[in-house]
Structure 1
Amino acid sequence: MEVNESANRYTIPEPATDATHEYHRGRQASESMRQLLWWLIGGTQGGKNRLRIVRSLNRRPMNTNQLSNELDLNYKTVQHHLEMLEENDVLTTTGDEYGKMYFLTDRMESNLDLLDEIAEQASLDDD
């Protein structure tokens, strides 16, 4: 309760609006994404390669072979990182088998600033 000095009465604050709830859900989602990206990018040995993959796919969608060639990484290594990123809702795919194309999820696209922040804090350089 709040005291309204000019009217000398107590007022009950308005209930939280949908916008307030949306704000808090957004902050929680952002915090969970921060934790996920620290785990995937900042806190593991393969983080630098996963960062390179995400940044490459931000420029344009590619398949595993294209990423392997562009990043000069072993095909199986790229495949492993793509699986991890897809399992954790960072990437999505279209197609199947050899022609499967990888794209950033909407969730990842809306958190690219967070990715850059974590890469900087973890001292990861983009080659």
Structure 2
Amino acid sequence: MPETKPSVPFVCFHDAGRSQLTAALLLHLSDGPVEGGSAGSAPAAWVNPVAVQAMAEAGIDLSAGNPKVLTMEAVQASDVVVTTGCGDTCPDFPGEQYLDWVLDDPPGQGIEAVRPIRDQIERHVRALLAELLPR
């Protein structure tokens, strides 16, 4: 019987910054054994260009990122849903396991402010991977 990969959607309001950064870092750092994606309750038209720049500096191409709407199906298929600091604006589906990572929001900030957000997200993602993929 094949093992299933843990699935983690990352959610913020616009799916243009924090959730995009987080999903990209999860996929990059896990190198395959975890499924991850990002979504928002009111997706923006594009990913924040400064978030794309911050990820490029880390060797991760986020330029093809596309904000998406959070679906009930994605939540139901997940092992844990991670909200990225959107508070009451994040959707809540009863019965699902949630983690809320309080993160600053990149919009309107320059690269100097987004780098520490990216680095904080990386620390969170590494800790989550250690829980999801015990060695």
- Is TM (by shorter chain) over 0.5? no
Q: Structure 1 or 2: larger helix share?
A: 1
Determine which structure has more spread, i.e. the larger CA radius of gyration.
1
- TM bracket, shorter-chain basis: under 0.3
The normalised TM-score by structure 1 is 0.26
Which is bigger in relative contact order (C-alpha 8 A, separation at least 6)? 2
